């Protein structure tokens, strides 16, 4: 039967506005974090990552912020576009990296025209 | 970024048949690959970790005899859903671990939509 999973929270933003997607992580030992974007019917796509020795990292239109004190991660998308509509997952990991991935429940971003 | 492919992207089969899904890392070698299952509007559920040259490690509640995993090479892992039933219908996603001097992360395949009639 269907597994008991988490229903995705949804964030709706107007096209052109900035989006902020939040993620709380659980393991104090986690020191590497990744954001993935998953469009409907496709696999997750790597967006940006950050290591715990940083508190901010910028990419193209995206910024990831890390607050280790409160174990919080956020993804900021500037000038949100319709193509940004997707589900966004954060992932935390700790050594051995790539092995111990823990994914957040995901947030669905809907961009309104 | 690294590229991971899956084949087929979509498959429809009759109940009782077996279906094989391939996961390939195209531009890097992956000693570890992962298989996930995803139900509509739900998060990824890790099914098993596939290690090249050794047996897969299954998550609790995942039947190893039903979901056969083979990781025969550094670029290929296969998931075989044996004696498929309608409740096995789902979106199956693989990922591959890329390790390098400055990276160690998972890259995902595009997913396989399985429909069992």
Interface test with B, best of A1, A4, A44 (most B CBs within 10 A): A44
Ranges of residues in chain A with a pLDDT under 50 are 1-6
Per cent of chain B over pLDDT 70 is: 99
User: Which residue of A lies nearest to B90 if distances are taken between CA atoms?
Assistant: A2
pLDDT at A7: 60
Other Cβ atoms less than 10 A from the Cβ of A91: the count is 23
Distance from CA of B94 to the nearest CA of A (A): 8
Relative to beta strand B10-13, strand B112-116 is parallel
State how far the Cα of A34 lies from the Cα of A90, in Å rounded to an integer: 6
pLDDT at B103 over 80: no
Whether the CB of A103 is below 8 Å from some CB of chain B: the reply is yes
CB pairs under 8 A between A and B: 73
Position with higher pLDDT, A104 vs B17? B17
Closest CB to A1: pick one of B1, B34, B87: B87
pLDDT at A6: 46
User: Which residue of B lies nearest to A86 if distances are taken between CA atoms?
Assistant: B41
């Amino acid at each position: 039967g269907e597994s008991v999973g988490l229903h995705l929270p949804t964030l709706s933003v107007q096209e052109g506005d900035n989006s902020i997607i939040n993620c709380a992580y659980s393991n104090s030992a986690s020191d590497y974090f990744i954001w993935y974007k998953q469009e409907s019917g496709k696999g997750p796509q790597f967006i940006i990552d950050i290591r715990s020795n940083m508190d901010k990292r910028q990419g193209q239109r995206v910024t990831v912020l890390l607050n280790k004190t409160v174990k919080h991660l956020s993804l900021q998308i500037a000038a949100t576009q319709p193509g940004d509509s997707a589900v966004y997952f954060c992932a935390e990991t700790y050594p051995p990296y790539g092995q111990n991935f823990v994914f957040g429940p995901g947030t669905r971003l809907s961009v309104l025209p | 970024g690294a590229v991971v492919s899956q084949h087929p992207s979509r498959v429809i089969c009759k109940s009782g048949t077996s279906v094989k899904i391939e996961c390939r890392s195209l531009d890097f070698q992956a000693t570890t690959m992962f298989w996930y299952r995803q139900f509509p509007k739900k998060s990824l559920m890790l099914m098993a970790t596939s290690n090249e040259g050794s047996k897969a490690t299954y998550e609790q509640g995942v039947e190893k005899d039903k979901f056969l995993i083979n990781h025969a090479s550094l670029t290929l892992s296969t998931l075989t859903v044996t004696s498929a039933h309608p409740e096995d219908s789902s979106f199956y996603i693989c990922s591959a671990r890329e390790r390098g001097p400055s990276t160690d992360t998972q890259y995902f395949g595009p997913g396989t939509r399985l429909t069992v009639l």
